[in-house]
Amino acid sequence: MGVLNVTPDSFSDGGQWADGDAAIAHGVQLAAEGASIVDIGGESTRPGAERPSELEELRRVIPVVHALTEQGITVSIDTMRAEVARAAIDAGATIINDVSGGLADPQMPSVVAETGAPFVVMHWRGHSVDMQDRAHYDDVVADVRAELEARVSTLRDQGVGDDQIIVDPGIGFAKTAEHNWALLRGLERIIDLGWPVLIGTSRKAFLGRIGRAEGDERPLDRRDVATAITSAFAARRGVWGVRVHDVTATVDALDVAAALGVVNEEERS
């Protein structure tokens, strides 16, 4: 899954694809580089981010969804808003990726149920503006697993079908660096919930800090090797998909892992 943020302020690529034509060209490029899905988002979820209005979010994403799906590219819509999800599905998107797992907008579960589209249920504890205050766990793997299980159960009660559910432990969302590493090491415990798993480590802060002295970080544009390695590791564990900005680097890592006999071809997504 290739990331396409049509935002002025995403932490990883904010501003780069805020212009519609540039966004469309980049989405085409991600697909050409090997992304099976292009994930289009119009709201930055970086820690501390302010939310755009619904109208502004629609204005950013819908023309891009239209243009890419018209070219036969599979698109997921990265949104917490039911109306944006519905409009994106009408414009040709086929997957709804909600970092709040349907918690941010009470209408989301019914829209998901109506559309029948696959729904990414990410582990989430609140909006980005203060989510890091909620990064407290007894046992992060057990707690995230239990909270995802509860969320999925509620969504099923609300009419979302079993064939629609994809879960995501939400790397970097109300998590410290140590929480993120623990979740990656304990990925089997999320996979054994029995749902397809999506994982997004791409360019996140914990990859900037690993192996560096306090206060010294890899800049954003130097985190794609670390992203490719963590993504290949997750693929080896059996996740359904990996969400990345640099598709070429991750395809290379998956190819190498496959040659080493550690990733099945069908695990590439």
Nearer to ligand PMM, 70 or 134 (CB): 134
* 101: Cβ contacts below 8 Å, ≥ 6 apart: 121, 122, 123, 124, 148, 151, 155
Q: How far is the CB of 193 from ligand PMM (least distance, A)?
A: 15
CB 206 within 8 A of CB 183: no
The three-class DSSP label of residue 207 is helix
Pairing outcome for strands 165-168 and 241-242 = unpaired
Q: Between the CA of residue 13 and those of 26, 31, 45, 103, 249, what are the distances in Å?
A: 12, 17, 12, 26, 16
175 an active-site residue?
no
Binding site for ligand PMM (CB under 6 A): 3, 5, 10-12, 41, 45-46, 78, 97, 99, 120, 122, 168, 170-171, 198, 200, 202-203, 243
Nearer to ligand PMM, 171 or 257 (CB): 171
Nearer to ligand PMM, 5 or 164 (CB): 5
Q: How far is the CB of 97 from ligand PMM (least distance, A)?
A: 5
Q: How far is the CB of 170 from ligand PMM (least distance, A)?
A: 6
243 an active-site residue?
yes
Catalytic pick among 204, 218, 223, 237: 204
Across 183-220, b (16+ Cβ under 10 Å) vs e yields bbebbeebbeeebbbbbbbbbbbbbbeeeeeeeeebeb
Residue nearest to ligand PMM (CB): 200
Nearer to ligand PMM, 86 or 223 (CB): 223
Q: How far is the CB of 73 from ligand PMM (least distance, A)?
A: 18
Residues carrying an active site annotation: 204, 243
